[in-house]
Amino acid sequence: AVLATRGAVCTSQPLASEAGLRVLRAGGNAADACVAAAAALNATEPCMTGLGGDAFCLYWNAAEEKMYGLNGSGRSPAALDLYTARQAGSPNDPAGCMDSASVHCITVPGAAAAWAD
């Protein structure tokens, strides 16, 4: 267990929680601690999280009394245009949808960009 009296960070791994707490102790905010904990989870629990994945966040800014949402889901590759996507459509699908096994259906991981956002 990782204990603190003036803050809280909860993860599935104590070392990742400790990383978040260290950021809080150094003057960081909850968002900073979250990024630190997520980064530590890459090493402590790589089968469940990582830079090759996606990230999502709801963040309440108490000073502004405003909720922010962050969508760090994977994006389509920059070089994939509509023409190429349509050409990759399945001939057996009347709507022209791509086969889910197509290389064009793989997204570029969004976690690293979300951490920076």
**3-state secondary structure at position 98:** strand
DSSP for residue 65:
T
Asked if residue 1 has pLDDT above 70, the reply is: no
Q: For helices 14-25 and 30-44, what crossing angle results, to 10°?
A: 150
Q: pLDDT (tens digit, 9 = 90+) per residue, 50-97?
A: 778 888 888 888 899 999 998 988 888 888 888 888 777 776 777 767
Element (H, E) at 20: helix 14-25
Other C-beta atoms closer than 10 Å to the C-beta of 84 total 11
pLDDT, residue 28, reads 94
**3-state secondary structure at position 3:** coil
Q: pLDDT (tens digit, 9 = 90+) per residue, 5-60?
A: 888 999 999 999 999 999 999 999 988 998 899 899 989 998 877 778 888 888 88
Helices (H), ranges, 26-110:
30-44, 82-87
The sign of the CA dihedral 67, 73, 79, 83 is: negative
pLDDT, residue 26, reads 96
pLDDT, residue 14, reads 95
